[in-house]
Structure 1
Amino acid sequence: MALMRSELEDNSDSLGKSELQNLAQEFTTTSMTSGVNGSHYSGWHSIKTLINKNLIERSAHRLSSYYLTPEGRELSLKFSSTNQLSDGFVLEANTYDIVLCVDTREQTSGVNRDMRKTALMAVLQQNGVRVEMRTLSAGDFAWIAKQRVDLRSNMATMNMNSRSRKELILDYVVERKRIDDLASSLKDRRWDEQKYRLVNSGVRKPSYIIEYFGSQTKRGDFGGIKYESLDQAIANAEVDGFSIKRCDCYDDTIRYLTLMTRYLESSFKDKTLYSCLREEMINKEVPNDHFMSYTEFDRNANKITNFTVNEMFLKHLLQIKGVSVGKAKVIVDHYPTLQSLLDAFAIANTLKDKQNLLSSLKSGLMERNFGPNLSKKIYKHYSNE
């Protein structure tokens, strides 16, 4: 479990002995360094069993490091989905910092390749933003509430605490979309699937930064896509429940991230926060001061590639022109699988009934009907008639 947490939270796939002992201590009441009940055996001796069972491997050099085997990683993920990493915790007011996480693949413009990974962080830090580079499973930017290190602790304890600090993912996960990238996604029919991935991360306010190349390009065509179509795609995303921020240029994006960080710092000042599960947030079973742990967010976002039957059906619906993320989710709510929709078509009495089966379904902020044209198009897509 300790190695799994290190992979998920720190992007580190191996740990030295002392690091592993410190992190593993969180998961047991048995000392990882001292003998139990006067014996010479501590919790650390169980490492031999894990190695013998091919769950952990040890590197063969003097300063040994330990890492999970594929079998160990699979078992850890099973445990983490039901046990330790989902345990509830509380971040008391004034015991955490607001930190902006930047995806490791996010790049700045106009700098050489060696500088790309650090230039953005440097600019944000100059603006007074606490920032960390991470491999985000969804989005390019995300804000977390991160437990502070106890400065009264000694150095060894501080090092341990810094690795095991509790973290909550806040409401906003942001995908940065340059306007030419949006045009490319529309042209390749990837836009709706990308939106689904972001909304399925579980956060309350999935967001997009739409970035232009200067204010004069807001009415420009890109990649063969007319600006009217680009504006309509952005408006449809807002209807689907996404927060949209239009930025004139890259520097404007930096300003927005800085101001957003300050807004969150002000909003969460003197507030106590609580952890919860993704399902509890999605089902609105918890109040707005409850958030997923970063580990919970990361684990669930990574699962998006392992589609269930109804998720595969939703993904397939998004390939039909005119079916947005919101509309696809409404269809799946009524017909969880493709087979259930085909069965509904089959028992409809007439061809007109089949074609109008979905016309009265409602979606969007205005709860508008799908209408006969879209219903007919979906029926035609799945029928042989």
Structure 2
Amino acid sequence: MITLYREMERGKEFMMRQELIDVAEASGLSEHAIGPNNSRNSRNEGYSYTGWNSMKTLTNKDLVEKKSNPAKYYLTEKGKETARDCLARSGLDGPAGPLTAAGHPAVELSDSDSDEYDGSSPLIGSERSGLPNSKAGSSSSFGNGHAINSPLSSRGMFGQQSFSAMGSAEKCLLAVPPHQSNESFLKAYEVVLILYDRDTFGPRSRRKVIDNIRSQFNIPVEIKHLPVGDALWIARHKELDTEYVLDFIVERKNVDDLLGSIKDNRYKDQKLRLKKCGLRKLIYLVEGDVNTVDGSESVKTICFTIEVLEGFDVQRTTGYADTEKKYGHLTGSIIDYYSRNFSVGVDTSRLCLTYDEFVKRCSDLEKVTMSDIFALQLMQVPQVTDEAALAVTSLYPTLLSLAKAYTMLDGDRRAQEEMLKNKSDMVNAGASKNIFKLIWAEG
């Protein structure tokens, strides 16, 4: 879809199948082969999936239109809007440079521009993210050395929700602290930004960072030894002093550390821990200029993938000072969201974990189980997302338990290939089939 959009911007009205495959593969956007791969040494040997399988989904979703014989592929208006949106969120520049969601060139912010931002626009909320009655906000993409401010009118700061968090109306509501009917959020609770006690801000001391955020944004900031993540927010009851963890958590990475974690696979383990911590809004904060590292395209692709496909919210900052401001603006937006939605869906919302419950839950994540290892193995299979892997391991915690389930189908190949798809909405047909091939490989 992005390839079609880029070629359309260069004047092409449509693309033929092989031309589209060749250009898309040359772009480096896909982790797997897009066209048929006949190499015997292919790392995808044994799997029938290629990137071209996604074309059916694009046409079914009215993002791409197929005409004529031989087929010509056109991008629909809906597809153009979606492609612009993806480019704006990922920082994968179009032919005319970075694009905003509206399709206009993005404006680069210098450090002085960033200082002048007063945070007056709410940063949380949209229909798409399941946060009701919210105004548009802003999100930033990778630019050439600076954060790019790209208005995303349909989304706000917190973008696409994790697939596992979408569905019925009650699932779209964030967890809330306990409250009495008609009780005001700010009357009952104080929101506190909690920073990880081992996180560093370059030459700045933690005390200096805390003082900066407090003085600029008039919010309480504390340091704790967090079991997961680098920042989160608690709602502390003003009378009882009970602390509840709000439904937001930040994993902060400078670009060098992120690239290193991609290379040694720490990234996948850290991402899995975040997904299992029990909080719904997972924020990946990438700090620094991605264009200064050798593996910049890898970093951009990872950010694009975890945001658009996996539901994380990826935020970018230029450096330490910008990160302090980001924390301040996020805190204000979280307070604003809970103030306006504290009584929404009282009977259907999940209750926030207490801080002690959160720590206990996360301490269990330190123990690596057979199920965790199995999930990481499944994530290497084509078309198996993190959500799909976790869905499978919730049904079958080990490879042996899954293999036994296949044997119960008495050699019915089709039933075996479709078993996981039929068991969980998180597993699509291709993933279901590929997992069966992994477990029940022939020859």
The answer to whether the superposition gives a TM-score over 0.5 is yes
Task: State the 1:204 CA deviation.
Answer: 1.7
Matched, 1:195 2:271: yes
Aligned length: 261
The within-5 A match list for 1:160-309 is 165-213=241-289, 217=290, 219-222=291-294, 225-227=295-297, 229-238=298-307, 239-269=309-339, 287-288=348-349, 290-307=351-368, 309=370
Percentage of matched positions with identical amino acids: 25
CA distance in 2, matches of 1:247, 1:369: 35
Partner of 2:194: 101
Higher fraction of helix: 1
Change (3 A) 1:172 1:358: same
Q: Pick from 197, 200, 210 the counterpart of residue 121 of structure 1.
A: 210
Change (3 A) 1:352 1:249: farther
Task: State the 1:98 CA deviation.
Answer: 0.8
Matched, 1:140 2:230: yes
RMSD between superposed Cα atoms in Å: 3.8
Task: State the 1:109 CA deviation.
Answer: 1.4
CA distance in 2, matches of 1:230, 1:361: 35
Task: State the 1:120 CA deviation.
Answer: 2.0
CA distance in 2, matches of 1:269, 1:244: 24
Contact 1:330 1:362 in 2 (8 A): no
CA distance in 1, matches of 2:427, 2:440: 23
Change (3 A) 1:137 1:129: same
Task: State the 1:182 CA deviation.
Answer: 1.6
What amino acid maps onto 1:243 in structure 2? D
Task: State the 1:247 CA deviation.
Answer: 2.0
Matched, 1:369 2:428: yes
Contact 1:100 1:130 in 2 (8 A): yes
Change (3 A) 1:335 1:270: closer
SS of the equivalent of 2:332 reads helix
Contact 1:182 1:230 in 2 (8 A): yes
CA distance in 2, matches of 1:198, 1:132: 21
Partner of 1:22: none
Contact 2:396 2:402 in 1 (8 A): yes
Task: State the 1:250 CA deviation.
Answer: 2.5
The one-character-per-residue Cα deviations of 1:158-197 (angstroms, maximum 9, x if unpaired) are xxxxxx7111111111110222222111111222211110
The one-character-per-residue Cα deviations of 1:48-81 (angstroms, maximum 9, x if unpaired) are xxxxxxxxxxxxxxxxxxxxxxxxxxxxxxxxxx
Contact 2:382 2:434 in 1 (8 A): no
Contact 1:330 1:361 in 2 (8 A): no
Partner of 1:78: none
Contact 2:384 2:427 in 1 (8 A): no
CA distance in 2, matches of 1:297, 1:98: 17
SS of the equivalent of 1:105 reads coil
* TM-score for both structures, normalised by structure 1: 0.57
CA distance in 1, matches of 2:188, 2:357: 21
Contact 2:253 2:286 in 1 (8 A): yes
Task: State the 1:305 CA deviation.
Answer: 1.8
CA distance in 1, matches of 2:281, 2:220: 21
The within-5 A match list for 1:333-344 is 333-344=394-405
Task: State the 1:230 CA deviation.
Answer: 2.1
What amino acid maps onto 1:204 in structure 2? R
Contact 1:210 1:246 in 2 (8 A): yes
Partner of 1:314: 375
CA distance in 2, matches of 1:233, 1:378: 27
Partner of 2:127: none
Contact 1:355 1:379 in 2 (8 A): no
What amino acid maps onto 2:366 in structure 1? T
Change (3 A) 1:338 1:359: closer
CA distance in 2, matches of 1:286, 1:353: 42
CA distance in 1, matches of 2:427, 2:434: 16
Contact 1:97 1:147 in 2 (8 A): yes
Contact 1:141 1:174 in 2 (8 A): yes
SS of the equivalent of 2:199 reads coil
Change (3 A) 1:231 1:272: closer
The within-5 A match list for 1:323-338 is 323-338=384-399
Contact 1:354 1:379 in 2 (8 A): no
Partner of 1:51: none
What amino acid maps onto 1:252 in structure 2? D
Partner of 2:161: none
The one-character-per-residue Cα deviations of 1:326-349 (angstroms, maximum 9, x if unpaired) are 231232245343112222455677
What amino acid maps onto 2:314 in structure 1? I
Contact 1:147 1:167 in 2 (8 A): yes
CA distance in 1, matches of 2:423, 2:412: 22
CA distance in 2, matches of 1:267, 1:199: 22
Stretches of structure 2 lacking an aligned partner (at least 5 in a row): 1-176
What amino acid maps onto 1:97 in structure 2? E
Change (3 A) 1:363 1:105: farther
SS of the equivalent of 2:252 reads strand
CA distance in 1, matches of 2:332, 2:215: 14
The one-character-per-residue Cα deviations of 1:20-39 (angstroms, maximum 9, x if unpaired) are xxxxxxxxxxxxxxxxxxxx
CA distance in 1, matches of 2:287, 2:235: 26
* TM-score for both structures, normalised by structure 2: 0.50
Contact 2:252 2:284 in 1 (8 A): yes
Contact 1:272 1:289 in 2 (8 A): no
